[in-house]
Structure 1
Amino acid sequence: VGGGAAAGGGSSAFNLPTAGVSPQSAYVSNSSYSADHAAAGAVESAMNLLNRQIAACDFSGMKEHIFGAFLGASASLPGLPLTPSLSIPLQRSKGDTVLPLTPLKAEHLKEELKGAYRSFLMAQFAESKASFMSILASIPLVVPKSRQESDELSEMVDVCREYITGVRLKEAMDATDDVVRKTELAAYFTHCNLQPAHLLLALRQAMLMAFKKSHCYIAATSFAQRLLELPDISSERNASLRSTAMKILKKSNEVARNEAELNYDERNPFDIDCDNLVPLYRGVEVAICPYCKSKYAPDRVGKRCSTCGISKVGVKTVGLLRYVVMR
């Protein structure tokens, strides 16, 4: 047979087909999402993307999620006896674009956020803080499915920042015996952007601290007024607190003095320095975390953010990649 083929001028050589592109290589080529690079096993590439996008410098909190993205991008199919299992890539391909499925979803983080809220409301602050930190470490590895979801993730970052700052203020209060400092920290806590039910608790704490402990009656007046303006204070379950706030307001207005000097001026807008936990009043220079947007004094530039624990403060970046329409 071979001789006949040669006599007829044909070729008996076998040409190997051209090798295709592996799914993992396609993931890296087709996407700028760090989650897709992590799913491809290109951990260094994923980390470089996050460094460029949000100046990420500490990936320890994201390690579990990075490995999860890789492990969740494929399934193992058992083969015949004595043969290895087959690794089947799980993909979310659109048209000719090959991309992996990613395990972290915005809806999962929303459920985790609800749990963090519950822990906060039950004064389980350590558990609450851990949940908010976990959410912050997860968001960079979520691929948004729509512009609305991109906006929701950005809002979630803001929520986590505010609550982590609030818990850190509470931890600082518990760590000091200085009544004036406790009052200041309680006052700053009331300026975190919390849900109304949580803000009510913060104002109650600050009001009682200023009135009973530091005898700062001007501050107590302010906290009582803000407390009485909250919608939730009119509910029946808060009747006792409403009565207490009205009594404190009346007494504080009669005294109208602070017995201690507080580093707190509610009339002058401020951000909280997330390093020293003091006010950064309007007009002063601040350094900002490129990921969670926490504010710091300029001497914090180049150091790791105390809130998210991920990014380097003061670095200007493009931010996380938002929703991209795949063709």
Structure 2
Amino acid sequence: MASVTLGKVEKAYDGLKTVHGIDLEIADGEFIVLVGPSGCGKSTTLRMIAGLETVTGGEVAIGGRRVNELQPGERDIAMVFQNYALYPHLSVAENIVFGLKLRKVPKADIESRLKRTAEILGLEQYLDRKPRQLSGGQRQRVAMGRALIRNPAVFLFDEPLSNLDAKLRVQMRTEIKELHARIPTTTIYVTHDQIEAMTLADRVVVMNKGRIEQVAAPEELYQRPATRFVAGFIGSPGMNFFSVTIEAGGSELVLKLPDGQSLAVPDSRRALFAPHVGAQMLIGIRPEHFSAPAESAANTLDIVATLVEPLGMDTLVHFRMNGTDAVARLLPMPGLNAGASLKLAVDMAKVHLLDPKTDAVLG
């Protein structure tokens, strides 16, 4: 196992930068997930760590050793790809041990490693089969086995589950998490799926436009996002944002929306909002922090549903507020249809305040 360090790492194609001087420290044995939308630079960053892309600027170090000039085979890493990259004419066993044979590892060592790897991944009964005889999940386990058998210092995963259906993705997420618990090798995992990121990672690296927006544990990303991008990207559905003016009315602070509706700031949040009295700010409300209120509830908004999605255990209610699309996640509401008027209570203890000029989350 080994630590991985990125220092001011850049990547440019024909002078156009796609990764902008990122810094990242990954501890020995840590499971790090790089997440972000398509084109944010996460796969390029992973490929620079692997040696599949040259580093335009900065330094990549594995186990304290600079590896910028080393070939992929000299970096003591193993990579699992999205498309499995299995040899169709070889059996499962031959695919798994292929790299060891190239390195002329002794036959007895290969056999013992194959046995252990097949047991860990539940592949014992498939060793004589060809890849075409396997399901997608089984092929991905073979690809993982080929990486695992090498005992590398670092595992690299490049969107390994994107070709699987939803049920298999959940199953494979569980298997990858259990595998890391058993064999805590340093792991760097790339995905565009924030649910994968939140369920797998010790820490999540949120990337946007070739830069790191925030690095934090999953719960911290959800509870304390640093920027509007992170706040909107983490969560399913993402956070809603509304423009408000902060007004002082006697001893109260009020968040006034453009349509005249208002929300009262509780005393527990006064210190956050008070410095911005008179200013136009943004507030962020997660869909799950709305609820259908009791008749006497304070801090409610009147809305008209534009779309209703019954999901069984809850209901997503879409609406527009001052020209902004928003969504609330509520308890099941049988019979609710688009066009219905209803009130939504807001959990003011969970409302975030953002600076509209910098997109920074202030609290």
User: What TM-score, normalized by structure 2, do the two folds share?
Assistant: 0.22
**Could you state the TM-score of these two structures normalised by the residue count of structure 1?**
0.24
Q: Report which of the two has the higher share of helix.
A: 1
